[in-house]
């Protein structure tokens, strides 16, 4: 998948057409992304008096298909993503229109966070 977390995108198709946002989550197996504050839907929750839960309407973001979004380049225009092999042999993402490298700031994932050492009990 060419899209990464923290990419700035614009919606090209659908009810949110023309709106801009940032990718917060990526689902590569389903080829979908979750964009902050876009593709909002209302979910109705039924009241359950036995557990003292009131009925409510909650607003949720739903994933968008990657075919419905386009990445924004540094000029703020919709663009496509390509790849180029760098001078040291590394693969880097580029904008197709301008040919400039996409600056990607890696965020910490669950794997990169430091795990606490487990305590062993000696018997």
- pLDDT (mean) for 1-9: 94
28 in a domain, yes or no? Answer: yes
- Identify the domain containing residue 22 by its residue range: 8-78
pTM for this entry: 0.76
**In total, how many domains does the chain have?**
1
**CATH number, domain containing residue 47:** 2.30.30.30
What's the pLDDT tens digit per position in 47-104?
999 999 999 999 999 999 999 999 999 999 999 999 999 889 999 999 999 999 988 6
Is residue 104 one of the residues assigned to a domain?
no
DSSP assignment string, 16-64: TTT-EEEEEEEETTTTEEEETT-SEEEEEE--BGGGTB--EEEEEE--E
């Amino acid at each position: 998948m060419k899209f990464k977390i923290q990419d700035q995108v614009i919606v090209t198709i659908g009810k949110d057409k023309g709106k801009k946002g940032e990718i917060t989550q990526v689902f590569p197996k389903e080829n979908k992304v979750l964009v902050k504050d876009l593709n909002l839907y209302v979910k109705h929750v039924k009241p359950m008096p036995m557990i003292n839960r009131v009925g409510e309407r909650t607003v949720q973001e739903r994933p968008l298909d990657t075919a419905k979004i386009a990445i924004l380049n540094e000029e703020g225009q919709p663009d496509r993503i390509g790849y180029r092999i760098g001078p040291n042999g590394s693969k880097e993402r580029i904008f197709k229109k301008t040919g400039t490298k996409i600056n990607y700031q890696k965020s910490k994932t669950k794997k990169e966070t430091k795990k606490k050492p487990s305590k062993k009990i000696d018997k």
